[in-house]
Structure 1
């Protein structure tokens, strides 16, 4: 019995000894500071990397969101093979559209309102919306009037580029809406007010400004030399008055330039299908040309540059019309006279416009010279074909006129032959067709049917090549006429 008890006791002791290293190892890790001497006895034991923590692990909010996102994204491409790519494409496309709109707003839209005060710019944005996006003449006109009212309250110059631009934009809106008569009224009023301000300024205001400058200079000279502050202030006042006078002169030049454009636009509107008042259209074009010539003579008399292209001052380089713009006004009036078969009035205008264009272009010849050369030839041909009794001036010998017209038309073709793309455009090609056709008519008048047939054939081939149906039809009719004869 005692032997059995002894064996059981020995077995328990052995089990206790077998389990003791593990418990001691745990004690080494947790109570290393209290029992450091026991560590050497168990140097072969591997300490635990981390203590055993019982219970569940608490996750942060971001970890929970990430886990839910991973769970939700599982199989999303497999479950939505069409909607998922479409959604991504929509998001990317929307981002690109937003970026493009922002780019246009910064690079194109905002610069248009840069010179306006913010309240005026806000009213103009509304006006432009009802002009370009959702055409609504009453709302647009109300917004334009509001912009003009705010500009007047903020002391913006009433004849500055900005204010006149608002008026011209309002007229353009009315024209776009088909309201030709109100558009003409707006332009006529702006034209009359601006021209009256320019004339009054040049007659009296300029002299008054010069008198003020002289008066200020006289007061500055009378001031005692020991008062240095007052002298400096008076000199600054003189400089301010001179700057103001120069600004007013520059504004008058700019306003006069816009007056010429307004007159030409009035001529276009009066001659449109909606109005059809040719007399008023001609009167507007004549007024524009007369104003150009009058200003040219005034500038020549004062020693000022005739065209802005000759100005070295970059700030005021576009204050007045350049030579090309003046030539355009002359050529448009000449075209009007040609359409009315008043060739004797068209001829000097074409010649004057050609002279201005040559001075402006120099060696850089463009198609404008070709058009004007052919215009001179057309006017000469018209003078020959119109009965002599209907011409108010003494007739020139028909043979000399025909030969002169032939030389002008041939000169137009020679000049066009030296113009190469990209300078050469469709205008050159159309003019070459007309000039070649005119040479055929002139050959007929000179009793040269073979040459006339050759010219008409060339005109037809060139018209067919560029797709000018009207020119091709006229050339074919001329060839039929020659065939019958």
Structure 2
């Protein structure tokens, strides 16, 4: 009975199963069968892939460097925001400094030593090191002496530019070290020896020229004699150029000696004046000799080659002596020197005009102003004062020179015009005010002082402003005293 019941229950369960579930199973089963069949067909239909060996390609050096730099640069700015820019700036600065040092060495330092033999240049480099970089007078002096000894042994001319340049450098080194007396001794000894050589050489040249004039009637001369004469003539021309150059350096030594004698270390105004006068006398003597021989006064024997002073340089020597006389309150001695210097500058510049003329015109006017303040009487010992002028005439002449300075400066424009023109205009205007004040033209003097003050303010010339204000205060006191 139980068996029959169980069979009925099983049959009832089978009967209650929906028909769509059976159809779904058969559907999915069919799909799986189709997929399995297609996969097996594709698997057996696929061609085998041939085996290939892995190829490793080596990188080039540039590629490895690029990869290394790329790895190293990752995060370097982020990790070192301060040190890395400073490192770059340091590298760039060091490179620029190296380039600059190389440029100076090639363009400035080496040309100074190329004219010397290698042995002399080596000694000079040591001397310059102990002069410019590590000041040591004793070691520098030994090196300079060694350079001079080697130069003499190698036959360099004792009065060539190179040898005289070494001697002048010794004096400069001693001055730089504070040994002014020793520097003066070097310059004095060098100047004395150079003048002896110049005078002896020119004396021998005159004797030789006279002998040639006496033997000018020779009819036939052998070729070897002509060649010897030609070589001797070339040597004489070289010696003459060297004498011109040496004399030019001697005049510079005299000017330098005047500066050293008047410095705070020595304070010997008498010796300073003697040296400055000697420089001017050498210029005058050489100018007369050149005029007598028909040589250009403002050029060297070989033309405009710089072997002798030009007119501007000669005028500068005259002006330096005139300035010294002005400081010593000797306007009667300074005035003719200023005028001679002005004439030389005009001759050199020709139709063109520079501020040098303005400065000299103003100096002439200022010397006349001082001479008007302290009239100079004629004396037997001073030929320049034999012709005495009245005070009013001196004042009128001084006014003309001062106005001339202002007028000439007005015609000079940049870039030729410089600060010296502006300063000279201020000083000339102040001098015109002084002269008007001396003539008791107080209103005119006040206007000129006011004009000078405005000119000085425009160019920032503090000394001119102070002079104009001082003159205005003096005029104000003078007016109050006359009331």
Question: How far apart are the structure 1 equivalents of 2:317 and 2:296?
Answer: 18
Question: How far apart are the structure 2 equivalents of 1:124 and 1:444?
Answer: 60
Q: Does 1:320 align with 2:313?
A: no
Question: How far apart are the structure 2 equivalents of 1:60 and 1:456?
Answer: 86
1:464 — aligned with what?
Answer: 457
Q: Does 1:381 align with 2:380?
A: no
1:344 — aligned with what?
Answer: 332
2:117 — aligned with what?
Answer: 117
Instruction: Tell which structure's C-alpha radius of gyration is larger.
Output: 2
Moved more, 321-330 or 164-173: 164-173
1:435 — aligned with what?
Answer: 428
Question: How far apart are the structure 2 equivalents of 1:361 and 1:102?
Answer: 40
Question: How far apart are the structure 2 equivalents of 1:215 and 1:87?
Answer: 81
1:444 — aligned with what?
Answer: 437
Cα distance, 1:378 vs. partner?
1.5
Gap regions ≥5 residues in structure 2: 1-43, 479-483
1:237 — aligned with what?
Answer: 228
Helix, strand or coil: the match of 2:114? coil
Helix, strand or coil: the match of 2:239? helix
Alignment check: 8 A CA contact 1:209 1:241 kept? no
Gap regions ≥5 residues in structure 1: 1-17, 23-45, 224-230
Moved more, 344-353 or 90-99: 90-99
Cα distance, 1:251 vs. partner?
0.4
Q: Does 1:274 align with 2:265?
A: yes
Q: Does 1:288 align with 2:276?
A: no
Alignment check: 8 A CA contact 2:332 2:376 kept? no
1:93 — aligned with what?
Answer: 93
Question: What are the Cα deviations for residues 61-96 of structure 1, in whole angstroms up to 9, with x where unaligned?
Answer: 969975994696373625555444444443333222
**Cα 1:475–1:208 shift into 2, 3 Å:** same
1:372 — aligned with what?
Answer: 360
The normalised TM-score by structure 1 is: 0.80
**Cα 1:195–1:65 shift into 2, 3 Å:** same
Question: How far apart are the structure 2 equivalents of 1:448 and 1:338?
Answer: 26
Deviant stretches of 4+, over 6 Å: 57-61, 212-218
Alignment check: 8 A CA contact 1:217 1:238 kept? no
Residue 360 of structure 1: which of 328, 345, 348 is its match?
348
1:174 — aligned with what?
Answer: 174
Cα distance, 1:99 vs. partner?
1.7
Cα distance, 1:330 vs. partner?
0.7
Alignment check: 8 A CA contact 2:171 2:186 kept? yes
Question: How far apart are the structure 2 equivalents of 1:424 and 1:102?
Answer: 37
**Cα 1:460–1:89 shift into 2, 3 Å:** closer
Question: How far apart are the structure 1 equivalents of 2:327 and 2:70?
Answer: 81
Q: Does 1:330 align with 2:318?
A: yes
1:73 — aligned with what?
Answer: 72
Cα distance, 1:236 vs. partner?
2.9
1:192 — aligned with what?
Answer: 192
**Cα 1:210–1:144 shift into 2, 3 Å:** farther
Residue 255 of structure 2: which of 264, 267, 277 is its match?
264
**Cα 1:213–1:122 shift into 2, 3 Å:** farther
Question: What are the Cα deviations for residues 445-470 of structure 1, in whole angstroms up to 9, with x where unaligned?
Answer: 21211111111111222223323222
The normalised TM-score by structure 2 is: 0.80
Question: How far apart are the structure 2 equivalents of 1:159 and 1:285?
Answer: 23
Question: How far apart are the structure 1 equivalents of 2:237 and 2:116?
Answer: 22
Question: How far apart are the structure 2 equivalents of 1:293 and 1:70?
Answer: 75
Question: How far apart are the structure 2 equivalents of 1:90 and 1:212?
Answer: 72
Question: How far apart are the structure 1 equivalents of 2:98 and 2:227?
Answer: 50
Alignment check: 8 A CA contact 2:375 2:391 kept? no
Cα distance, 1:259 vs. partner?
0.7
Question: How far apart are the structure 2 equivalents of 1:62 and 1:380?
Answer: 85
Cα distance, 1:139 vs. partner?
2.2
1:9 — aligned with what?
Answer: none
Question: How far apart are the structure 1 equivalents of 2:163 and 2:348?
Answer: 30
Question: How far apart are the structure 2 equivalents of 1:289 and 1:216?
Answer: 38
Q: Say how many residue pairs are matched.
A: 428
1:250 — aligned with what?
Answer: 241
**Superposition RMSD on alpha carbons, in Å?**
3.2
